[in-house]
Structure formats: C-alpha cells, structure tokens
Structure 1
Amino acid sequence: MLEVENYSFKYGENLVLDNINFSLEKGKILGIIGPSGCGKTSLVKAIVGLYESNESNIRLFGKQVYDNPEIKRNIAYVPDEQPSFYLITIKEIVNFYKSIYSSFSEERFYKINKVFKIPLNKRFMQLSKGMKMRVSIMIAFSIDASLLVLDEPTSGLDPILKRAVLNLVKEKVTRGEKAAIITSHNLRDLEEVCDEILIINNGKVDYYNTLNNMKENIKKIQVAFDKPIYEEDLACQGIITIDNVGRVFTIITEKYDDKFIKSLQQYEPLFIEEIDLNLEEIFIYKLGKEKEYEKIFK
C-alpha cells in the first residue's frame, strides 16, 4: 500500500533524513518513534506529500504522493500543530473540508464531537492546544481515507479522550482496508495499538520490525554462574548491553534464540531467567540512553 524507498531529505545543508526504507500494508498500524529532533515529523510530512520526493521514493498504491492531489485525497493527516485555521470557526472548517473531500462525512464529524465536545461557533484560535488537536482528529476521522497519518495525536488530551482516539484508530483500520501511521512520545499508547514499529535515530532507521517480533527477539536475560566468568566470555552477536554484579549477569540482546541460549549454556550457568521488555524499555536500551541518564543523575 505505502512504500518509502531510499528517501532522504535535506534542510539547507543539514541532512534531516538519510535513506529511509519501509513499507506498510492495509490493515496495519505503524508506530514511528525516536528521540526529539530525530526526524519523525519531517518523515511524516514527506509521507503526506508536504516535502518533495522523487517518483521512486514515496508511493501510495504505486503512485507518487508528492504533487499528486488525486493520491493525497486518500490520506488523512493530523499534524502536531495546526496553523491554518486560526481566524475561522469550527463550522467553517467543516464546510471547507466538505468542499475538497467528497468522502468527508459531516454526520461522522458531529457524532465524534458528542465525545470531544468542541463548541462549533468558536474560532479555531480561541481553542486550547488539546481542543485544537481534537478538531484535527475529528476532521481526519471524518474523511474516508485509506491512510491515516497522526503526528503526536494524544498530545494535550486527558486519559479518557486519549483512549477514545486510540480506539478510533483501531476501529478505522480493522473495519476496512485502511492503514495508519502514528508518532508519539507516549510509547505505552503505541504498544496498545501498533502492529509494527519504526525507530528513527539521527535521521536514519535504527530498527524496523513487527511489535511481536520485536518483543520476541529483544529480551533481558539474567544469568548466574558458580565459577569465574567474564563479559568477554559472554559477548556474542546481538548483545546491546551487558552488566554484572559478582557472578550474576544482566544481558540485553536483540537476537534471543536457541543459538544465544546455547552460547550461555556452554558455561554451565546456575540459572537463566528470561525477562520480557515493554516498548518503552526496548526503546531506551536500543538507543543506549539508560547509561547516559544514570551518569547524569548519579
């Protein structure tokens, strides 16, 4: 459905995105995560056609997205900030989208607003940050688009509305032949809804996999020995970090498989304990940030 192939983006002399590759199928939700300033929003803007790309770079249904109004009508976009509607009312925004999207459902917009409770006669500029985000979300969900792209959609929302937004995303994707992309710093939210995860770091793809494979392959392992064993003995391909207290070692690996277990068993451990990691923990270990934070707060 969506293909991003060898996409790079420069802002002046600064290389913001460097050779990004991934694809997204119908019925799937992709979470894009990474540290602040890593290029997530730039990638989202490229996907929805706001940044230029070559025909071979970003395609939806096999057709270039950039400078292609027909294809862009298949995309509903929720930006992290909406600067376009400051002086007009919510009712006028609805009329605007009705005029450019034949699939826009006014009935659906008002149905969602029974939960979001936005005053329709207010000007957009009069709304709080959270209310502006709600308007953008209502617009996106009122367009019968094939691809839903949301940049930090739960920012400024209370827990009840956050839950409502995540449920809407799941409903929209599972109900029809749709797909969604979400960026968020709240990784617990993404863990609830995403099928696939793309980690961006310094403008590059650091990791890309299904969430299930990610959790199966990236594990924390605790292993103890009754004889002298050193970190160099246990080092093998796929280890992210390794620490020890005495003869008890804590290992984070991204290649947890039979080969990895055998590499430990050759040293006759007293026990091997497998510990599952959540998405937030995986993100911290994968980017090597935990050690940095420990140094700062010691």
Structure 2
Amino acid sequence: MIQIQNITKKIGNKMVLKDIELNIEKGSIFGLIGENGAGKTTLIKCLTGIYKVDVGSVKIDDEEVFENNKIKQKIGYVADQNNYFTYFKIEEIIEFYKRAYDKFSVERFERLNDIFKISKEKKIKDLSKGMKMQLSLMLNFSINPEVLILDEPTSGLDAVVKKKVIKILIDEVADNGTTVFISSHHLEEIERICDNIAIIENGEIKYVNSIENMKDSIKKLQVLFEEKAQDEIKTWDEVLCVESIGRITYIIVKDYSEELQLRLKDKGAKFIEEINLSLEDIFIYSVEEELENEKCI
C-alpha cells in the first residue's frame, strides 16, 4: 500500500532524513516513534507530498505521491498543529473540504460531531487546541480516506476524548480497511493500537518490527548467578544493558532465545526470570547509545 523507498531529504544544510525505507501493508496501523528532532514530522510531510524528496520515492498504490492529486484524494492528514483559516466558521471549513475532496461526507461529519459536539457556528480562532484537533480528525475521517496519516493526533485532548478518538480509529480500520500511519509521543497509545512500529533516530530508521515480535525479543531478565556475573556478558551482541545488585543481575537483551538462556546457564546462572517491557522501556533501551551509563532497573 505505502512504499517508502530509500528516501533522503535535506532542509537547508541539514540532512534530516537518510536512506529511509518502509513498506506498510493495507489495513494496518503503523507507528513511528522517535525523540524530538529525529525526523518524524519531515518524514510525514514527505509521505503526504508536502515535501519533495531529494532521493528515492514515496508511493501509495504504486504511484508517486508528490504533485499527484489523484493519490492525495485518498489521503487524510492530521497535523500536529492545525492552523486552518482562522476566521472561517466550522460550517465554512466543511464546505471547503466538500469542494476539495470528492468523497467527503457531510453525513459522516455530522455523526462524528454527535460525539464531539462542537458548534458549527464557531470560528476556528475561537477553538482551543484540543477542539482544533477534534475538528481536524472529524474532517479527515469524513473524506473517507484510504490512507490516514496522523502526527501527534491526541495532542491537547483530555483522557475522555482520547479514548473516543482511539475507538473511532480502530473502528475505521476494522470497518473500512483504512491504512493508518501514526506518529506519537504517547507510547502507551502506540503500543495499544499499532500492528508494527519503526524507531527513527537522527533521520535514520534504526528498528522496524511488529509489536508482538518486539515484545518477544526484547526482554528484561532477572538472573541469579552462582557467583558474581561475568563481565564478558556485557560484550554479547544480544545484550543491551547489565547491572548487578547483590547476587541478582538485571540484563536487557534485544534478541532473547533459548540459545541465550543456555549460554547464561553455562556462565553460572541458576535462575532466570523473564520480565516483559513496555513499549516506552523498549524505546529507551533501543535508542540509548551509552547504555553502560543507564540503569537496567
């Protein structure tokens, strides 16, 4: 559905994206996570055709996105900052979307607004940040997109509204087979709804996996050794972090397997307990370059 092939993007003198490659299946929810300044929003702007890539290609249904109005009709885009025409009333922005998108449904907007209850008489300038986000979500769901691209879509929303938005998003995928690409700092939400995720760091994709596989492979181990844990373990390729407290050693591994268990037992491990990590923990351990300075507990 979405093919991002070896794209590079420079803004000014800064290389923002470096040789990015991602393939996203139709009807899936794909999450992009990374620190501030890692290149998430720039990648999204390339994906939506706002930016032209310097090298590589961005395609949806095997067609280039940039300057392709037919493909852009299929894309809903919710930005992290929703700066619409500030003096428009909501009913006027609805008319604008109706003229711009062939499949825009006023009826669907009305159904969604039964949930969010924002007066169409209000001007955009009078809306709070959260209300602007709700409006953007309603408008973009109402174009009946084949691809929905969301940049921090729950920013400014309270807990009750977030729950409603997530339900609508999950229903959108289940009912219509919509492909969703989402960037968010709220990792618990990404963990809950995404099929696959990518970690971007300094403009490069460092890791791509399904949530399920990631949780199976990246583990925290609580290990009891006969004697002090051997320093050699820190040098193993699978090991991200080692810290000992008394006779207990905590080990973060990125590729857990039965073979690794046996190697630990060969080094004197008498007891090994697996501890599942949250996506937030996995993200921290995956991107941290100086893991020896970080605590494993």
Task: Tell me which interval the TM-score lies in, with the shorter structure as reference length.
Answer: over 0.9
User: Given the superposition, is the C-alpha separation of residues 87 and 289 from structure 1 closer, same or farther in structure 2, using an over 3 Å criterion?
Assistant: farther
Q: Distance in 1 between matches of 2:287 and 2:234?
A: 21
Please, which moves more after superposition, 84-93 or 72-81?
Answer: 84-93
- What is the CA distance between 1:26 and its match in structure 2? 1.0
- What is the CA distance between 1:144 and its match in structure 2? 1.1
| Contact 2:187–2:280 under 8 Å retained in 1 | yes
Give runs of aligned pairs for residues 1-298 of structure 1, distance below 5 A. Answer: 1-53=1-53, 56-233=56-233, 235-288=235-288
Please, which moves more after superposition, 242-251 or 139-148?
Answer: 242-251
**Structure 1 vs Structure 2 CA RMSD:** 1.9
Q: Distance in 1 between matches of 2:239 and 2:140?
A: 41
Q: Distance in 1 between matches of 2:38 and 2:28?
A: 24
**Structure 1 counterpart of 2:18, which letter?**
D
Please, which moves more after superposition, 16-25 or 79-88?
Answer: 79-88
User: Given the superposition, is the C-alpha separation of residues 229 and 66 from structure 1 closer, same or farther in structure 2, using an over 3 Å criterion?
Assistant: same
Count of residues in correspondence between the two structures:
295
Q: Distance in 2 between matches of 1:182 and 1:215?
A: 20
Q: Distance in 2 between matches of 1:129 and 1:229?
A: 52
- What is the CA distance between 1:290 and its match in structure 2? 9.4
Q: Secondary structure at the match of 1:99?
A: helix
- What is the CA distance between 1:291 and its match in structure 2? 6.4
| Contact 2:9–2:55 under 8 Å retained in 1 | no
| Contact 2:241–2:292 under 8 Å retained in 1 | no
| Contact 2:230–2:267 under 8 Å retained in 1 | no
Q: Unpaired runs of 5+ in structure 2?
A: none
Q: Percent of pairs identical after alignment?
A: 40
Q: Secondary structure at the match of 1:57?
A: strand
Q: Distance in 2 between matches of 1:105 and 1:79?
A: 20
- What is the CA distance between 1:229 and its match in structure 2? 3.1
**Structure 1 counterpart of 2:235, which letter?**
A
Q: Secondary structure at the match of 1:36?
A: coil
Give the ranges of 4+ consecutive aligned residues of structure 1 lying more than 6 Å apart after TM superposition.
289-295
| Contact 1:234–1:264 under 8 Å retained in 2 | no
Q: Distance in 2 between matches of 1:89 and 1:228?
A: 69
| Contact 1:91–1:121 under 8 Å retained in 2 | yes
Q: Distance in 2 between matches of 1:209 and 1:282?
A: 12
Query: Could you state the TM-score of these two structures normalised by the residue count of structure 1?
Result: 0.94
Q: Secondary structure at the match of 1:263?
A: helix
Which string of whole-angstrom CA distances, capped at 9 and with x for unpartnered residues, describes residues 129-187 of structure 1? 00100100001111111100010000111111101111111111121232101111110
User: Given the superposition, is the C-alpha separation of residues 254 and 54 from structure 1 closer, same or farther in structure 2, using an over 3 Å criterion?
Assistant: same
Q: Unpaired runs of 5+ in structure 1?
A: none
| Contact 1:56–1:64 under 8 Å retained in 2 | no
| Contact 1:55–1:64 under 8 Å retained in 2 | no
Q: Secondary structure at the match of 1:270?
A: strand
Q: Secondary structure at the match of 2:274?
A: strand
Which string of whole-angstrom CA distances, capped at 9 and with x for unpartnered residues, describes residues 8-57 of structure 1? 11111101111111110012101111111111111111101100036951
**Structure 1 counterpart of 2:26, which letter?**
K
